[in-house]
Each structure stands twice: as C-alpha cells, then as structure tokens.
Structure 1
Amino acid sequence: MKQVLCAGIVVLDRIYALDTLPQGEAKYTASAYRESGGGIAGTAAVAVARLGGQGLYLGAMGNDAAGDWLQAELRQLGVGLEALQIIEGGRTPNACALVAPDGTRCLIVDRGTIAPQIPPHLPQADALLVDHRFPDLSAALLKAANVPSVLDAEGGEPATLRALAALADYPVFSSHGLRACTGEDDPHLALAAIDAPKARAVAVTRGAEGSFWRIDGTIHHIPTPRIEARDTTGCGDVFHGALALALAEGEPVRAAARFATAAAALKACNGGGWRGMPAREEVEALRAGGW
C-alpha cells in the first residue's frame, strides 16, 4: 500500500441541491441538503484511501464542532491524521455548495482562521500532494520532497502559483488557475508559457474536455469518458489524489493521468461527497474499457 501525504486545506461542506443555480437576487428552495467533508487536500486524502492507498492528511483544524466532525469522518474513511494540527480557538474552514441537476455548482467558501505550521518532521510517504491554500507550507514541502510531488494549482495568487509550479514535479492547474498565471485560454499556449524547470510534466484540467499535458515539450490530450454527471463538487481534488497515488505506484505519467481521469469521472457520476468516492475496482474497470 503506497502512502500519499496530502498537505493543505480541509473544509466542512454544506451542500444544497437546487433546480437551477441562482441568477440574481431571489429566494430559492433546496430539494435536498447534506453535509460532507471537502477541501483540496482533505478530499484528495480520502480519494487515496478509497483507491487502495494510504492517504495522510497534513493541515490544521480548529477545536470547534466542524473540526470535530471532520476528524471523525476522516478517521472513519481511513485517512491518517498523525500530522494534523489542532488550533485552539481557531475556526475550521467551511463552504456552501449550490448544485444544479446537471452537476454544475456554485461554491461559497469561508476560509476560517487557521494556518498550519511547517512541521519539524514529516510522515514517510511515497508521493506528496500540496494545494495552494498555504503557500509557505507547500513551498517548504516541495523543496524537501524526495518523492513524486503534485501541485494542485486550482486558484490563488498568480505569482504564488507560478512560484509553487517551479518547485513541483507535476504542477496540475485548473483552467482558472492557468489562465490567471498566463493570460491564455488556449491550453497549448498556456502550458507552453509555464516556467517549471523541475517538472516532469505540466498539466491543466478542463472538466468535460479532459486534461492537457506538456511532456518533454509535446502537448498530449487525455479525454474524459462520456458520463452523466450528478455532482462535480470535489472532482478536481479526486483527480489530483488519484494522480498522486498512481505516480507513487510507479505508473507512467499518461497512464496515471488516465487513472485520475477515470476516478474523477466516476466521482462526478456518484456525487455524495466523500462518501461517493469510487472504489479501485470501478476505476480500473473504466480505465480498462477505454474511451
């Protein structure tokens, strides 16, 4: 079982199902409501555990009700918490997700009042995944890493993303993050504009369009399978966690990208937050079937 250290943010998600996403000032009635764990690093760690690896979470929570709930949920889902930091009097991040029937969503995030410290000692791991939320922590971990390192460059300040991308083996941007860093919408031009001297590959995820990868100066496209999305919340986080696990297991980058694509697609079909993570056998069956 390979271990993936996932460092960054974890969030308590409050999710409302709506017939349509809000379009201006009005009152909307939800058809369903649930609570789930979320956040880039936290969700990635859960995905790793569900996919047959050992997800280790490094980050912080407050000693509040949201933090207590998230700790219990992570433990039940098999995530290691030996690197978790509890901040006395801190407010754990939380989010409100509004989800339409086609799986599209609107996300409102309260980042909380906590920030993890750089730990003096790190758990042993076979791969590292960091997000952009705590850049000093992410930069320190990337500099110290001697295992494959994945950066989830979903958002944040462009200068910060560019600096972190220069430290990672596999910087993987969202469309928004890459556009903010380069000013380009075309994935070929945008990926070519990223300066990542350490990177073995640089990528951008584009939802239903799949992902694009710059490997040895050549752009490769990994398409997504045809699916009926139920909820896309957390799919990018699942993608990054699955990618890190596949790299830890020694998969070549394009094979790892297909594994991550299959995992994210099945998560979109399942919905259900952390409890809707696909199992390893489901992902392998989809990947083996091709698309």
Structure 2
Amino acid sequence: MGRIVIVGSLNADLVVQTPRFPRPGETVHGSPLQVLPGGKSSNQAAAAARLGGDVRLVGAVGDDGQGRMLVAAARDAGVDTSSVLTRADVATGTAVITVDEAGENTIVISAGANGTLSPDDVARAASVGGDSQGGDSPFDGAAVLGLCLEVSLETVIAAARAGRDAGALVLTNVSPFAEVGDELLSLTDVVLLNEHEAAELVSGGDVADCAPSDWAVVSRALAGRGVTRAVVTTGAAGCTVLVDGEPPVAVASPRVTAVDTTGCGDAFMGALALRLASGDGLADAARFAVRVASFAATRVGAQSSYPTPEELAAFA
C-alpha cells in the first residue's frame, strides 16, 4: 500500500441535533452542543488511516484549543500530522452543523486557518525537510493525493501540481462545489463528486436517478471537461463509476438506518483513496468505499463514525 497525502482543511465541528431544520426566521430546540473533530480533508485522512492507510495530512490550524484538539484527533486516528501548520494570528476553522431526526445535515463553514493555507505552504511541504520536524516531504513516494475545495483554489492547484510531479494519482473531491476551471481538471486523475455537483460541472441539469443511458451522456459531458474518470455518489443508492469510453458501473450501497450522515462523503473519499493506493481498479475501490460510507451513517459524528478494518468486517 502506497502513501496517501491529503492536502486541505481541518475544522472543529459544532454539532447540534434537532427534530427538524428551522424555517427561515424560526427558532427550534436542539440537543446539547458537541464539539467534534472535522473538516473535509482531516475527515478523509482519518477515514483512510483508521482503515490502516499510511496517511500524511497537510493543512493549518489556529494556535488555540480547537486546533490542538484537531491535531490530537488526527494523530489518534493514525494520521501523520507533521505537515499541519499552526497559525498564531487566526482561529481554527469551524463548521456549524445541525442534524435532523432523519440523519440529514446542514453545514456552514468558517474557514479560519484553512483560508491561510497557501501555494507557498504546499511548496515548502513538497520540498526536502518540508515538515515541521525537518523530515522527508509528504509527497515523496506518495501513491495518491487527495484534495477538496475547503481551501483556496490556488492552493489546491499547487498541491495537484506537486502530486503530479511526485507521480501520485490525483483524486479531487469537487466539494464544497465551486467552478474549478480546466487547469485543476487537467491535473486530476479521478474526480469525486455527488450527482448535484456533477450537474453543476457539466451544466446539464439534475442528473439524479439517471438511467444507464443517461449516465453515459454524463460521462461524455465530463470527458468534454477533461474528466475521463469520475465517481458520482448518489446518496443512499451508492455511486456510479464513469470511465470515458466504457459503460457506466452502478455500485449499490448496503441498506442501513441512518443516524447521522455528517462526514459520510469524506468516509467514502478516504476509503476510495485507500483502495486506489493499494492498487485496486476504480470500480472495486468504489465498492469498498460505499461500505465504509454506509457504516459511517450508522454512527453520530464524522471522524468518530469511521470504522477500523475489524469493525468493517463485522458490518459486512
């Protein structure tokens, strides 16, 4: 299994559960506040590491209690955090999350230190002695580089270039969705996105509940943007694997009773990166990832819901 490098965000998740989401202007009662480790990139790294992956995380936190909590949680999950920077002049990133009784969530993020992670920080991490202990670069020998859009697009592109130069497979999660342009797509080997993000990326409208012939149209549209390999997640249904010139492959998800879907997409991403780093083909990696994401939906929280190999085996 090769090394997985994740470049991006760490957030303190401020979580409240409520029977239903409030309407505009309405106040509803919720559960006691929980402060949990999160951030898409940190979640993805934790998911892969808990499953046994060799994972390095590149990111930034504030010099505060929440930042220290996030770094400690990542380490406890088995993630190498030696390339996580501490900023003295900015707060740690935060996500305000509400979860309803069906397990669905709403999330508002405040970038904090994540917004300070720069292309220069990536360049320093990619250099020899680029981590905080003066050790090797996290990109050296990397098999897979995982990216998302919770840090600046310029930083994501710089990381994609570093990953490409290191010979890593670049896996980009186009979330939270933003128009990324052709440069990042040209540096990306596999794009991960949900059906709504796929619709946005190809400007083709809603692609939910596609028939196989429709997915072929989506695949060709993505190829027109330079995306020749993609995994489109479809919620509780699972995902569809799209490879240009090949028939779409639908991957069904195990049926579970969802408790909290927060971080399930990140669990999918981390598991997908793990199996790609192990040499799996894209469809086989996606079959593994849907099981991990389904398991995560049965537990509260993001990182706290991610399985070990033993837990996943028992679930299967």
Name the TM-score, length of structure 2 as normaliser: 0.84
| Alignment match of 1:257 (pick from 268, 280, 286) | 286
| Alignment match of 1:131 (pick from 148, 171, 174) | 148
Q: Distance in 1 between matches of 2:223 and 2:161?
A: 16
CA 1:195/1:216 → structure 2, altered by over 3 Å: closer, same or farther?
A: closer
How far apart are residue 176 of structure 1 and its match?
A: 3.1
How far apart are residue 198 of structure 1 and its match?
A: 7.0
Partner of 1:232: 261
Partner of 1:167: 187
Partner of 1:243: 272
CA contact 2:262–2:301 (8 Å) conserved in 1: no
Q: Distance in 2 between matches of 1:105 and 1:280?
A: 27
How far apart are residue 220 of structure 1 and its match?
A: 1.4
**Structure 1 residues without counterparts, runs of 5 or longer:** none
CA contact 2:222–2:228 (8 Å) conserved in 1: no
How far apart are residue 250 of structure 1 and its match?
A: 0.8
CA contact 1:191–1:203 (8 Å) conserved in 2: no
Equivalent position SS for 2:33? strand
CA contact 2:48–2:55 (8 Å) conserved in 1: yes
Detail structure 1 runs of 4+ shifted over 4 Å in the superposition: 196-200
Partner of 1:210: 238
Q: Distance in 2 between matches of 1:283 and 1:98?
A: 27
Partner of 1:11: 11
How far does the alpha carbon of each residue in 1:53-98 deviate from its partner, in whole angstroms, 9 at most, with x for none? 1221111112122212212222222211111122220221101110
Q: How many residues align?
A: 286
Aligned-residue Cα RMSD (Å) equals 2.0
CA contact 2:239–2:251 (8 Å) conserved in 1: yes
CA 1:85/1:204 → structure 2, altered by over 3 Å: closer, same or farther?
A: same
CA 1:78/1:213 → structure 2, altered by over 3 Å: closer, same or farther?
A: same
Partner of 1:155: 176
Identity of aligned residues (%): 27
Q: Work out whether 1:140 is the aligned partner of 2:158.
A: yes
CA 1:173/1:107 → structure 2, altered by over 3 Å: closer, same or farther?
A: same
Equivalent position SS for 1:19? coil
Q: Distance in 1 between matches of 2:197 and 2:36?
A: 25
| Alignment match of 2:218 (pick from 166, 184, 190) | 190
Partner of 1:63: 63
How far apart are residue 149 of structure 1 and its match?
A: 1.8
CA contact 2:256–2:294 (8 Å) conserved in 1: yes
Equivalent position SS for 2:292? helix
Q: Distance in 2 between matches of 1:42 and 1:68?
A: 13
Equivalent position SS for 1:22? coil
Equivalent position SS for 1:61? strand
Q: Distance in 2 between matches of 1:5 and 1:165?
A: 18
Aligned AA (1:119): A
**Structure 2 residues without counterparts, runs of 5 or longer:** 128-136
How far apart are residue 203 of structure 1 and its match?
A: 2.0
